[in-house]
Amino acid sequence: MLNPKLSKVVIGVGGGIAAYKVCELVSRLFQSGVEVRVILTNSAQAFVTPLTLATLSRHSAYTDELFWQPIHSRPLHIELGEWADLLVIAPLTANTLAKLTYGMADNLLTNTVLASTCPVLLAPAMNTDMWEQLAVQRNWQQLLTDSRYHGIGTASGLLACDRVGAGRMAEPPEILAYIQSLLHTGGKRDLVGKRVLISAGGTREFLDPVRFIGNPSTGKMGLALAQAALHRGANVTLVHGPANWNVPLGVQAIPVINAEEMQQVMQEYLTSADMIVMSAAVADVKPRDYSSEKLPKRSLPESLALEFVPDIVSELAKMKQPHQCLIGFAAQTGDIVAPALDKLKRKNLDVIVANPIDKTDSGFGSDNNQAIFLDKQGKQLEIPPCSKLQMAHHLYDFAWG
């Protein structure tokens, strides 16, 4: 999903046990076509070797030893700072955080940061007590007031010190998604101060405790929409059906099961939202009768009586205010434009995403998607096959730009 004009990333590795996770990050970046350069602080080398990261990045890894040797035609930190489209520091230690906050530069990594103008992504990792220190939190919040810096908060769990609490570094897939977003946007935060309400995944309408009417939706498109909005600075609420993925750090997630529950939550949060993206694949019908006990196979009806579930997006359209943007999805086979245009007008949407579910590596369950965007002013934009995260960014560019 990468912008070919923005694909040069410098990874700065701090001294912490989470440094081992950077190996996966560097490997996946290289495999996705990104040029990677790695800088290790002196303390980082106690946890992972320059040789390991050089092998994974297919390029020499840089250390302070190289920084202080006059072997370059130009200062190394200047070359790296000008070369990078994005800097990533993972793990970010309390020590490096303090240096960045006050503009200090006493090693290759911090000098490179000051010699660059590109966005900087920070992934902190430290013991819970260290992370929760007032001085550390003050530095963290102060640094993030600088528009260059983008931060992934820490997760909670079992730490290497056997403490259970906050301070775990974000996992490589989450950092990778943020990197991909920043390479797409160039670091812009055009959704700062905006509230984005997103529905995702399929709903399940149960006949009995074990049988339901549903669809193959995995919610991956809604997850990508949440990630993209978060990375662009939005306050994100994600209302999702049953899913097999982790909610991004910083996203408010509300799980639901059926259409009635989803409608209730979406309407509850509607009034505070600036943008509503209805990407969920909501069931159209549900069994008319529900059994609280599992029905024996012999008792299953030969003909299942059905009734329609609420049309959530239509109800939201009736309630939305003029300043709000309501986006719907139309998953189609065959001709995708005509049905989407009809849905756009009939349901009073601002934008609709027409995406084919009968194309290879697209639609339900896929990591990729393709679509045609249409808005109520008659504008259309065709998006060729790409990752769902890139699709999400294209949608925000179309709807909000």
Residue 4's pLDDT is 44
The reply to whether omega before 385 is within 30° of 0 (cis) is: no
Q: Average of pLDDT values for 376-395?
A: 95
Whether 118 is a known active-site residue: answer: no
How does pLDDT run across 196-253, given as a tens digit for each residue? 999 999 999 999 999 999 999 999 999 999 999 999 999 999 999 999 999 999 999 9
The whole-chain average pLDDT of the chain stands at 93
Please check if 383 is assigned to a binding site: no
Q: What percent of the chain has pLDDT over 90?
A: 84
pLDDT tier at 392, thresholds 50, 70, 90: very high
Residue 360's pLDDT is 81
Q: Average of pLDDT values for 360-382?
A: 91
CA separation for the pair 258, 207 (Å, rounded): 12
pLDDT tier at 364, thresholds 50, 70, 90: confident
Q: Average of pLDDT values for 182-187?
A: 94
Q: Which of 118, 161, 325, 386 is catalytic?
A: 161
Please check if 310 is assigned to a binding site: yes
C-alpha distances (whole Å) from 371 to each of 71, 202, 215, 327, 336 are 51, 19, 20, 14, 9
Per the CB < 8 A criterion, the answer to whether 355 and 336 are in contact is yes
Residue 289's pLDDT is 93
C-alpha distances (whole Å) from 13 to each of 19, 34, 109, 119, 379 are 6, 17, 8, 16, 45
Q: Average of pLDDT values for 295-301?
A: 91
Report the candidate in 276, 246, 245 with the shortest Cα–Cα distance to residue 263.
276
Please check if 353 is assigned to a binding site: no
Ordered domains of the chain (ranges, CATH): 8-185 (3.40.50.1950), 195-400 (3.40.50.10300)
Q: Average of pLDDT values for 40-68?
A: 95
Per the CB < 8 A criterion, the answer to whether 8 and 35 are in contact is yes
Please check if 345 is assigned to a binding site: no
CA separation for the pair 30, 376 (Å, rounded): 41
Please check if 343 is assigned to a binding site: yes
pLDDT at 72 over 80: no
pLDDT tier at 162, thresholds 50, 70, 90: confident
Report the candidate in 239, 237, 277, 272 with the shortest Cα–Cα distance to residue 395.
277
CA separation for the pair 141, 155 (Å, rounded): 17
Per the CB < 8 A criterion, the answer to whether 376 and 370 are in contact is no
pLDDT at 139 over 60: yes
pLDDT tier at 70, thresholds 50, 70, 90: low
- Backbone φ and ψ for 100, nearest 5 degrees, come out as -65, -40
CA separation for the pair 123, 173 (Å, rounded): 12
pLDDT at 382 over 70: yes
How does pLDDT run across 91-131, given as a tens digit for each residue? 999 999 999 999 999 999 999 999 999 999 999 999 999 99
CA separation for the pair 333, 170 (Å, rounded): 38
Please check if 70 is assigned to a binding site: no
pTM exceeds cut of 0.85: yes
CA separation for the pair 76, 17 (Å, rounded): 27
Residue 132's pLDDT is 94
- Sign of the alpha-carbon dihedral angle for 348, 351, 356, 362: negative
CB atoms within 10 A of CB 119: 23
- Sign of the alpha-carbon dihedral angle for 199, 28, 87, 171: positive
pLDDT at 191 over 50: yes
pLDDT tier at 71, thresholds 50, 70, 90: low
Q: Average of pLDDT values for 256-282?
A: 97
pLDDT tier at 315, thresholds 50, 70, 90: very high
CA separation for the pair 25, 13 (Å, rounded): 11
CB atoms within 10 A of CB 162: 6
